[in-house]
Amino acid sequence: MKFGICLPHYGREIHLSHLLEMTREAERLGFDSIWVTDHLIVPDSVEIIYREHMLEPIAMLSHLAAVTSRMALGTSVIILPYRNPIIVAKMLATIDILSSGRLIFGAAAGWMEGEFAALDVPFQERGEVSDEYLRIIREIWTHEHPQFQGKYFTLEEVTTSPIPVQNPHPPIWVGGNSKRAMRRAVELGDVWHPVGLAPDQIQEGRAYMERLSRRRNLDKVPGQSLRIGLSIEGISVPVGPYASRTGRTALRGEVSEVKEKLAGYREVGVEHTVLDMSTLSYESFLKTMETFVTKVKA
């Protein structure tokens, strides 16, 4: 199983030196990927960690490409309806070029209705919009002269560049725990990217996607061409004075407990786990990464 780290570029006072040290230490310790997340304008009525001090994810990812050399660079996740898909395709293809082919594109339809309203984006159409935008991005990434006819965009007699380094395109991780998200992952993605599910729930989702693939004669069955990358919101491995603060922790306990939980995820086909430690202090974040690598992953 591969392991990634969500960079906490939100929810705390911005210290560039801290963000860069977290990033470099994750790469030094051997983590496989580092991830950024997406919110643009959060309603005051919504209590969420992603409101304060949140750096824009695509710009942040471009900076991370310059200060890393090995780790994959992922978005967990870009909310598809918020941005023009042609511009997103261009920006992310540029990041794939600048990082020598290390981009992972995580994307989802979104859920925060007040944010959609603030951005003047139709909330009820988010599923249909997301499907079309993913198709556009795939088309642009794989054809210098893209052709596309949809409800929201038409492309003809145009040239796009650059084509990403990765062939046929950077892997697309489709986020979401709903059946609509699973369907989107089967039809338009390479990896299903649920958040915080237990192993039995992942197994149920896997079975559903296998049935869907067979019904539609699609060659994208989890464990074969469609893979599973899980995001776990919260991790705490007790490390003496650096034990975590209270928060949402799906992966928590002594080293032996965390190993056992990860084994359960591995058994149901999770190939890449993204760990979110945003409730930890800067010092605890660094110490927990080290403890995870030396005592859990080892």
Residues 6-22 have pLDDT tens digits of 999 998 899 999 999 99
- Which residue intervals of the chain are DSSP H helices? 16-29, 57-67, 85-98, 113-118, 126-142, 179-188, 199-215, 255-267, 282-291
Q: Is the pLDDT of residue 280 over 80?
A: yes
Lowest mean pLDDT among 13-22, 57-66, 233-242, 250-259: 233-242
pLDDT at 246: 45
Q: Could you read off the pLDDT of 64-113 as tens digits, one per residue?
A: 999 999 999 999 999 999 999 999 999 999 999 999 999 999 999 999 99
pLDDT at 210: 87
CA angle 119, 124, 127 (to 5 degrees): 95
Rounded CA gap, 134 and 154, in Å?
14
User: Which pTM does this prediction carry?
Assistant: 0.92
Lowest mean pLDDT among 28-37, 45-54, 127-136: 45-54
pLDDT at 213: 84
pLDDT at 220: 53
Lowest mean pLDDT among 17-26, 114-123, 213-222, 281-290: 213-222
